[in-house]
Amino acid sequence: MSLVEEKLIIPEPDFISGLNSEQKKAVMNMDGPLLVLSGAGTGKTKVLTTRLANIIHSRKASISNILCVTFTNKAAFEMKSRVEKILKQPVEGMSIGTFHSIGAKFLRKHSSLMEIKNDFTILDTEDQLRLIKQVISFLDLDPKIFVPKSFLYMIDQMKNYGLSYDEITNHEFEHKTKGKLSKVYKLYQQRLKTYNSVDFGDLILLPLKILRQNSEISDFYNKKFKYILVDEYQDTNAAQYMLLRLLSSERKNICCVGDEDQSIYGWRGAQLKNILNFENDFKGAQIIRLEQNYRSTGNILDAASSLISENKERIGKKLWTSDPTGEPVEVINLENDEMEAFFVSEKIVNLQNIGVKLSKMAILTRASFQFKDLEDRFIRENIKYKVVGGLRFYERAEIKDALAFFRLLIKSDDNLSFERIINIPKRGLGSVFLRKLNDFAKKNNLSLLDSLRKYLETETLSKGPRDNITMFLKVLDKHKEMLKNKDHFEVAGALLDDIGYTDMLKNEKTIESEGRLENLKKLVVDIRSRSTLNEFLDEVSLLTDVSNEREGTEKISIMTLHSAKGLEFDYVFLPGWEEGIFPNQRSLDENGNKGLEEERRLAYVGITRARKKLSISFVNFRKQYNYNVYRSIPSRFLSELPKKNCELKLNQSLNEKRINKIDHIKSSEFSVGTLVKHDDFGEGKVLGINGKKLQVKFKKFEEIMSIFSDFVKKQ
């Protein structure tokens, strides 16, 4: 008889049986550093929750010894609920939540080490901005030069990098502000401490400082958290990355789930290198690729894989599906932006007619200014829609402001419009002044605008407000006069410039303000197609006079590509695939190839949102901000799609040369974006290629010129 008895083998839990082989590996390999590269639609949430459940089920760690980090509170709640459903028991006591919620909890426990009380207030963006304005005023800096919103953005970015005010001496922001950033940052932090407050950046930066400076606390948390799980690892910034490194330094049982091909938040501090360098950062790390897709058809996946394979900064994977090939990806060329909106609306109506619900469809754009043509068409066609992650075009503050200026220009007794814009940009005319003016208007039976003129003549005002009112009236009167002999669309654009509104947005120097400027440009451009400003305003009023539908009403979703991450729809439309729009020209100009690769990842995200059918469109001509119609160049991303998986539908008016453009956007000698020089025309940039012919935008000329490559040379 053997002295060593055979042990009882417990079968694996039933919740693991439904996983594919790679998913099972990710769930069962619980010890040591692990990176799960989870492609779109490959079941990452299922893997994360099942792995979490398995750690608890196998008694590797108690619930309180697990740290699980997500990027949204919704994701944290969903993960916790799923684990409880799998285990059929509550999982209270687990540290699960966003980086910020976990950071806040940590900071309240150890706040004394940062010389703040544990009942500190977390300031929202509005309060942060108010504090920054106080600091800039205290330092006697001109807010027109040292813009508060810009400083708030820069301080936030510094915190994303894990940098305190005394660590930014050589940073480009410090040089850009001539050494003022560190001063503003330092005083801002001092004021935060005085008010017993922190901002969102502090919720990561301060715990990071505590862990670095206090080995005892660092050791405690390293022992406490036996297992760490991180979702959306490709979206982590430098400070979050450093926090994870510190918390996992002893046991190294860290599992990060992410997809380098869906890293699209570089503009807000996310570092792609965090996921690319995982193997180097965590020695002995395993990498498991989840490539079996459960969402999309074969044609959609092949299109996505072909496109993203052009990126150099990636670890690499190829999505596949056991489902049918499905319909080819539709790539359609249309004459102009209005026809594009018409095409999309017609497709939607046809899908509705065969029983497809609006909630199963989505339109994903590169920028929000693209919404307008679509919204106008949907309102005319009575297609119910919702804007996800933002406001409808005509509900945005900058659009309402612009329309108020335009209405006041042609209708001086529009008191509502007057009240909206009298102190935009700031003129020192607050609520107290407006109350006085309203009383004055009632007493004299005048409109607010006419009352303002009379008030200026009869009442005592300090120099600042008086000068501001005088200038406001002067600009308004000037543009009223201009309407008599100039084109109405030119007057509209000039009014926003001269009144100081566009400068106000430009001075903010934020991504949000740039988007608002684009929306204004789109609005002004569309005025051109109406015979008068009054006609345009009447039409807008009719478009926006739409009764509120019940919450349960079926609607199609319109959103930007950034808002679409994590979502999926049966039918997806991707309009505006043209150079300059997508890829975005600003992204290319500011970030070069890095920007191009992030734009391509955005395209990949867009493609992989579709389950059954994908339609991509581009146009020949599109209205631009300077009121002209420009010939568009097809996006280079179109030439990266595989022919065998796509169906190209070209405008019937196009000739053979136009057809070739999609296939020949890339060239061995020149490529889109190449800087060139012509002996007569000077310097320019290549925007498109058709065989030996280049589409070039020269600095000297408004138009895009078609020219043989023999006549230019690379710069």
Query: If you ran DSSP here, which 8-state letter would residue 12 be given?
Result: P
Q: How much is the average pLDDT of 281-294?
A: 96
Who wins on pLDDT, 709 or 185? Answer: 185
Between these two residues, 466 and 642, which has the higher pLDDT value?
Answer: 642
CB neighbours of 378 closer than 8 A, spacing ≥ 6? 345, 384, 385, 556
In this prediction, residues 230-234 reach a mean pLDDT of 96
Give me the pLDDT at residue 658, please.
Answer: 36
Q: Residue 674's pLDDT band (boundaries 50, 70, 90)?
A: confident
Instruction: Label the pairing between strands 629-631 and 610-623.
Output: antiparallel
Q: With 70 as the cut, is the pLDDT of residue 662 above it?
A: no
What is the predicted pLDDT for the residue at 138? Answer: 94
Q: What is the pLDDT of residues 316-360, one digit of tens each?
A: 999 999 988 999 999 999 988 889 999 999 999 999 999 999 999
Share of the chain above pLDDT 70, in %: 92
Which range among 6-10, 138-142, 616-620 shows the weakest confidence by mean pLDDT?
6-10
Residue 706: the pLDDT is: 66
Confidence of residue 535 (pLDDT cuts 50, 70, 90): confident
pLDDT number for residue 624: 67
Each residue's pLDDT tens digit, 16-27: 988 999 999 999
User: Residue 82: what are its φ and ψ, rounded to 5°?
Assistant: -65, -40
66-92 pLDDT, tens digit each: 999 998 888 888 999 999 999 988 888
pLDDT at residue 238 is higher than 60 = yes
Residue 541: Cβ within 10 Å count: 12
**pLDDT, position 694:** 74
The predicted structure's pLDDT at residue 203:
95
The beta strands (E) that lie in 372-476 are given as: 385-387
Interval 199-227 mean pLDDT: 96
Residue 163's pLDDT is: 96
Q: Using CA atoms, how far apart are residues 378 and 349, in angstroms rounded to an integer?
A: 10
Catalytic residue set: 44-45, 231-232, 262, 609
Q: What is the mean pLDDT of residues 591-595?
A: 92
Tell me which residue of 397, 374, 398 sits closest to 386, measured CA to CA: 374
pLDDT tens for residues 405-422? 998 888 888 888 888 888
Q: What angle, rounded to 10 degrees, do the helices at 337-353 and 371-381 form?
A: 50
Instruction: For residue 604, give the nearest of 579, 631, 641 by alpha carbon.
Output: 641
Classify burial at 356, counting beta carbons within 10 Å of its beta carbon; exposed 0-12, middle 13-18, buried 19 or more.
middle
Task: Assign 3-class secondary structure to 281-348.
Answer: HCCCCEEEEECECCCCCHHHHHHHHHHHCCCCCCCCCCCECCCCCCCCEEEEEEEEHHHHHHHHHHHH
Asked whether the beta carbons of 241 and 271 are under 8 A apart, the reply is yes
Per-residue pLDDT tens over the stretch 546-589: 544 555 679 999 999 999 999 999 999 999 999 999 999 989 98
Nearest to 604 by CA among 316, 332, 305, 381: 305
pLDDT for position 509: 75
Q: What is the pLDDT of residue 625?
A: 57
The confidence score (pLDDT) of residue 688 equals: 66
Amino acid at 595: G
Q: Give mean pLDDT, residues 158-183.
A: 94
Sequence-ordered alpha helix ranges (H) in 528-666 = 533-544, 561-564, 585-607, 656-663
Q: What is the mean pLDDT of the chain?
A: 88
Number of Cβ within 10 Å of residue 413's Cβ equals 12
Structure tokens at 676: 């060139």
Using CA atoms of 680, 681, 686, 688 in order, give the dihedral in degrees to the nearest 10.
-100
CB hemisphere CA count around 211 (13 angstroms): 25
Among 262-271, 382-391, 498-507, 602-611, the range with the most confident prediction by mean pLDDT is 602-611
For 322-333, the pLDDT digits (tens) are 988 999 999 999
pLDDT at 653 > cutoff 50? no
Dmax over CA atoms of the chain, in Å, equals 115
Q: Which candidate, 399, 408, 348, places its Cα nearest to that of 575?
A: 348
pLDDT tens string 360-412: 999 999 998 899 889 989 988 889 999 888 778 888 889 999 999 998 888 88
Residue 148: CA atoms inside 13 Å, Cβ hemisphere, count? 19
| Low-confidence winner among 300-304, 604-608, 649-653, 680-684 (lowest mean pLDDT) | 649-653
The whole-angstrom separation of Cα 104 and Cα 101 is: 5
Rounded to an integer, the average pLDDT of 522-526 is: 82
pLDDT class of 287 with cuts at 50, 70, 90: very high
Residues 6+ apart with CB under 8 A from 331: 616, 617, 618, 638, 641, 646, 647, 648, 649, 662
Whether residue 666 has pLDDT greater than 50? no
pLDDT at residue 517 greater than cutoff 90: no
Torsion angle, alpha carbons of 264, 270, 273, 279, to 10: -100
Q: 237 burial class (0-12, 13-18, 19+ CB within 10 angstroms)?
A: buried
What are the backbone dihedrals phi and psi of residue 546, each rounded to the nearest 5 degrees, phi first?
A: -110, 125
So what's the pLDDT on residue 655?
35
**pLDDT, mean of residues 620-645:** 83
Least confident of 163-177, 532-546, 623-637: 532-546
The closest of 446, 445, 452 to 421, measured between CA atoms, is 452
pLDDT above 90 (res 30) = yes
Between CA 187 and CA 173 the distance in angstroms is 17
